[in-house]
Structures are given as C-alpha cells and as structure tokens.
Amino acid sequence: MTGGGVNHTAATRWAATGTGKVQKIRFYAAANTNAKVGIYTDAAGLPGTRIGVQNASTPVIGGQWNDIDLSAECEVTNNTLYWLVVLQSAANTVKYDNEVGRSYKFSYTKTFAEGLPENGGDMSWTDYSGIYISYSAYGILVLTPSSISQLVSYGSPKLNLSIKPSSILQALVYGTPTVLTSALIIQPSSILQVVAIGTPSLRYRQTISPSSIIQSISVGMPWVGILGLIKPQSTIQPVAIGTPTLLKYVWHVILDGNYATETPEKNRMFVIGRDRYGNPVWGEAQDSTEIGLVGERLDFQPDPAIPTTAQAADVASAVLSKIRLMGKRGVILIPPNCGQELFDVVQISDSGANQSAVKFRVVGIRFEYSPKQARYQHKLILGAT
C-alpha cells in the first residue's frame, strides 16, 4: 500500500536493538520522490527532541530501499524507544502495510521546504492505528564491557608498559594516560607492590639493613679508595689501620649545575567525563600549597571516556602531578659515579645556586670522556621527584 500526500510527514516508533551511533536511515519508497529524514527521542508516545537529521532534499527511487545519510552521527541506547521520521515532497510515496497492534503518526504541519524541526512537539501529530511504515536505521554498534573489575592507577604512568603473559591478570588503565619523565611498571594485582618513601642520599652502592638492625653511621668524609662493609652496631668489627673499610658514601662533588623550579601554570583542575547514559560526571583536584602562594589557577579538561566521578578525580590528580613534575628540572656535572642509576632520587646542596638539600630524580645520564679536553665526568639530567 502507498499513502500520504505532498508535505506529508510520517513517523514510526522504533526500539534500538543495540547501543551505538546511527549513521543512516533506510526508507522504502513506493514511488520516485524527494525526502528528508530525521530521528527523534520518544516523549510520552510522540516524537520529542531531534537527535539526527538530513534536511537536505534527497532523491529516492520508488520500488526499492533507499539509504539516506544523516548530516551527523547520533547516539542511541539499547532497548530505548526512538521515532524515525520521513518528510516527502510528492503524494502517495510512503510504503506501509497493515499489521494488528502497530501504529504510526502523520502530520501536515511542516512543508517540505521548511524541513524537520528540532522539537517534534512543534508538529501536530495524528495517530493512524493498524499501520506501520517500512523504515530502519543502522550505523556503528558500540560494545561496552560491564563486568570488568579494574585497578585504578594513581599518578601519571608513562606509556612504556610491560606486556604480561596471557596467564597473568593484567590491570587495565582507563582514561587518558599522561607521559612522565620516568617509566612505571604496573604489577599484577596479586603482587604486593612496595613503595619507596623518602629520598635516599647515596650515589654509590650500599647494603640496606632491615629496620630491626641498628645501622652505624660514619661521621666525617669517607675515603672512596677502598670498599668495605658496614656491620651492625652489635657486631664487633676489627679496624684496619690506614685503610678505612667504608661502603656508604653520602656526598659527591658537583662540578657545575643548572637548576629551574617554576610555579605550576594550573593548581586546580576539573575533569569532566560522561557516564554510560550520557550524563556528565566530574572530579576535582587541587594543590592547596600552590594556591596559598600564588592564588587559584583553575582549568577544565573534558574527557568523555571517563565514566565515574571517582575516576574523574583520579585523572584530575594525575594532570596536576604531571604539571608539577614538568616545572622542576636541572643538569649537574659530577665526577664519574659507578653506582649512579637512572631514576635514583638525589639530594643536592649547591650554595652558589641557592640549592639547599633540594631533591631531584635522575631522568637521564650521560658519560663524557675527552682526554684532549681533560674531561672525565657524568652529566645527570634532573627532574622532579
């Protein structure tokens, strides 16, 4: 059967069979015509807000299915009711069939030149029971995991992650990773991770004693010529005359240095995400110390991939951490140090540069050796801890 007249708008209600993005509306025409199509939300059994449209006049061919692209993708949710709408320019071109229990709406409110409005309530709809229209809509199906239990990564991990064997449970990091100056290895959840608190003040290798053993501290300037072991205080150790047996070196000469500590550009951050229903969620983080020094410096960062308030707050903390880390850096030249390793935390006192026990992390090491220039030294590139 065919039906409808000039400037006839026909609409049929449709339940989405999946969550995704609609790109096209497929329309079966009984005769050649021009059409405009749209997709609307359901408002108490009538077309509500328009979420997708093609208001450009599109030729369609009678006796076959015609695909009409929407001007922009629109998102739909599984098992949610929507209205598929076609506005035709010629009479008797809509293909429909009788079926008990089905119905469609029609309207002559808008002309073909006016096109489909943003609000379906602007049109006067009439019910025609026992008839349905041959429409369909399709696009990209989005699969959303619902049963994944994930560990939240605090801070800002670098993108250099280790790939674990398939037999080891791998923690998933959601959100947007940010790049740091140091690498972070994410361990399986079954492994207890030990976090190093504080700042070691050593450059050479040493033996760290358990907390239950009293460690004797050498006072003065140790000699770097001969290595030895530091015994617990309860152990009697013979002293070799003329040859100190020290392993723990707590100082090193700085030949030259260059340091920079800048005030962070942002000290309060809002991260705005979106939950699975499209509602906004947000989280906040702030650096109260910097706010007290320079006042509030606020910034907003949208990230639709973040689905919960808790994760939005974690990402906001990570962004502030990255900004803080980027504001502290330096370079020092020291005599060669065989115990120096990448990512060590060092404490620097350089009175000429107004540095007193300032902590940095070693993010780069370069060894320089040039006999002609009498150069034999380590260049350490420093970053924030």
Q: Are residues 305 and 340 in the same domain?
A: no
Identify whether residues 107 and 124 lie together within a single domain. Answer: yes
Look at residue 322 and give its three-state secondary structure.
helix
Same domain assignment for residues 277 and 375: no
List 35's β-bridge partners, or say none.
Answer: 58, 88
Kind plus residue range of the DSSP H or E element containing 3: strand 2-3
**pLDDT tier at 80, thresholds 50, 70, 90:** very high
Which residue type does 139 have? G
> pLDDT by residue (tens digit) across 242-291?
555 444 445 678 888 888 888 888 899 999 999 999 999 999 999 998 89
Q: Does the residue 175 lie in any domain?
A: no
Contacts of residues 183-188 at CB distance under 8 Å and 24 or more positions apart, as own/partner, are 183/158, 183/343, 184/155, 184/157, 184/158, 185/161, 186/151, 186/153, 186/157, 186/161, 186/162, 188/164
Residue 37 has pLDDT above 80, yes or no: yes
What DSSP assignment string belongs to 335-374?
Answer: S--TT--TT-EEEEEEGGGTEEEEEEEEEEEEEEEEGGGT
The reply to whether 126 and 18 lie within a common domain is yes
* Assigned domain for 28 exists: yes
- CATH code: domain of residue 305: 3.30.1920
Residue 152 counted as domain residue: no
90: its two tokens? 């010629």
Mark which of 297, 325, 353 sits at the end of a domain: 325
Say if 172 falls within a structural domain.
Answer: no
What's the pLDDT at 119?
95
Total tally of structural domains belonging to the chain = 4
**Burial 163-179, CB ≥16 within 10 A → b, else e:** eeeeeeeeeeebbebbe
Instruction: Tell me the residue range of the domain where 225 lies.
Output: 211-248
Return the pLDDT at 178: 47
Query: pTM surpassing 0.85?
Result: no
Confidence of residue 31 (pLDDT cuts 50, 70, 90): confident
pLDDT tens per residue, range 156-166? 554 444 555 55
